Structure formats: structure tokens, C-alpha cells
Amino acid sequence: MTTQCKDTAIETGTGDLPVRVYRDSALPRSAPLVFHLHGGAFCSGTLQTCDIVPELLAEAGAVVVSADYPLAPGHRFPDALRALFGGLRTLRRTRAHWAGRLSRLLVAGEEAGGNLAASLALMARDQRGPELAGQILLSPMLDPCLGTTSIRSADVGPAGCKWSDGWQNYLGSPDKAAHPYAAPSQSSRLVGLPSTLMVTAQDDPMRDESLSYAGRLRKSGVAVREHVLSAPTAWPGSLCGDVAAPRDWTADLRGQFKQFFADIAATPRRSASHQLVEV
């Protein structure tokens, strides 16, 4: 099978959102539809440089729509999230055009894109859809405090740190960090979120916040598949095209995607209670 790519755009309600569609030539119409969000610490990353994850998702059996969302500091929270939520609604409404009429819809993202994917899942739960079958979070930026052991072990911090600068540029002001859609680690209510695949790595600075969020999701009754890749991976930089490093982990990651899609396909569609939250 051969993965094909096509650049197009989707309507968000406030304008067009550029996207790149990845589809394997032999996929069935029932293949899952994944809305992918790239990394780049909220301030960088493009469809051209951040193609590793969407390609692996497509190879694992999904139709992938990867979004070129508005970046900080020109667009601070919640600009990107609002545009992406509009795009997610469009995908749900037109999913027969992208995949199949009954295809399951998921969100996925790495690093800053993992933050946005997790936030979209919260929004979709709170605002009565679109219904999501799953969320795939890879080394997600969830905690703006940057105080975990894995962050400290990576010798990063407030001064000159890519992720600290990214958080500041994205949030604009410290008070925004209290909003669960800005920093999902701050959410006090995780009940009703979709099945989750959480992948991190032994040498990932975001490892501890990733595993902490996975544990809280599980305690809230969310089905969680959790995987820690062996070092070295150079995550999350190697996911976003920032670091040239061996990619011995790609086969493992592709296998995790494939198994998660199989788990989703075997799970009955769910209904959930909702609570509206303003953003």
C-alpha cells in the first residue's frame, strides 16, 4: 500500500484552515478519520516539517487530516483552538467525503499539538460534540509549570527554554494557565473523555506530565492505553523535525497506532453527559 498526500482546506466557520490529507491507497471506507495537530511549542511547525506522525498514522490504517493551525505569538490562546474546533466540526459533518459515513473520528497530536488535541477532546465533551472515538497524545505539552522531574532532568527551565517560551507566547498572561482548555493538566473534570492512547519515552521531557495525565484519565473511568518508548528517541524534537536522530521507534509507534485503531473498532459507540464551558 502507498500513502498519498493532498493539500486542501476545510471551513472553520471563521475562514479556511489549510490541511494535508494522508490516505493509504488500499484503505477501506470504514477506516478511522484522524484530525492531526503538529508540534512546535505553539510557535512553529508546518505541514511540511511535521509529517512523521501523520504518515505513521496513515500507515497504521487511518485517513489523516493534518492541520496548519494559527501559531503564537501572533495568535494566542484560544485562537488556534477555536479554529481547530470549527475544523473538527466540519470533519464530523463531512466525514463521508474524507473517509466513510460511519468512520470513527479521533484527534491526535504531538507536543503542542498534543495539548491542542487534549483540549479539543475536552471541548467536544463539554459542548455536545462532535463525538470522538479516541484521542492520541504523543509527548503532549500539558503543564505550563514545567516543574516535573523529567523536565528538570532534561536541563530545561524558565530561561531560554523552548517550551517555557512557547507557553508564554501561547498564553500571553499567567492567568490563562488556569483554563483547562489552555492547560489540560489543570482540568478538574476528566470524566466522559474518549479512549486515549498516551505515548511518551524514557528520555522525553514531557514524560512525567504525560503519565500523570494518563493516570488521572484512568482514575476518571477513561479507557487508557499507555506506552513508554525506550531511549534514545530525542522526543519530542525528533517528532517535530527539530532534531535529526535515529528513528528506531517508528515501527513500535506504528504498532501502537494500529492496535489502538483495532481497540476503537471493537468498542461500541458511546454517549456521554455534557457540561458547557466557555472558551
Give the CATH number for residue 127: 3.40.50.1820
Query: Residue 136 domain-assigned?
Result: yes
- What pLDDT shows up at residue 242? 73
Query: Residue 272 domain-assigned?
Result: no
Strands (E), 32-179: 33-37, 63-67, 105-110, 134-138
Query: Residue 95 domain-assigned?
Result: yes
**Residue 138: φ, ψ to 5°:** -115, 115
- What pLDDT shows up at residue 220? 98
pLDDT digits (tens, 9 = 90+) for 200-219: 999 999 999 999 999 999 99
- What pLDDT shows up at residue 6? 95
Query: Residue 278 domain-assigned?
Result: no
pLDDT digits (tens, 9 = 90+) for 214-257: 999 999 999 999 999 999 999 999 998 777 777 899 999 999 99
Query: Residue 9 domain-assigned?
Result: yes
Q: How many domains does the chain have?
A: 1
DSSP tag of 41: T
Q: What is the mean pLDDT of residues 126-149?
A: 96
Asked if the model's pLDDT at residue 158 lies above 80, the reply is: no
Asked if the model's pLDDT at residue 275 lies above 80, the reply is: no
pLDDT band of 72, cuts 50, 70, 90: very high
Are the C-beta atoms of 13 and 86 separated by less than 8 Å? Answer: yes
Query: Residue 279 domain-assigned?
Result: no
User: Structural domain of residue 146, as residue ranges?
Assistant: 3-265
Arithmetic mean of pLDDT over the chain: 92
Helix 79-93, helix 112-126: angle, nearest 10? 60
pLDDT band of 267, cuts 50, 70, 90: confident
Query: Residue 270 domain-assigned?
Result: no
Higher pLDDT, 161 or 36: 36
Query: Residue 243 domain-assigned?
Result: yes
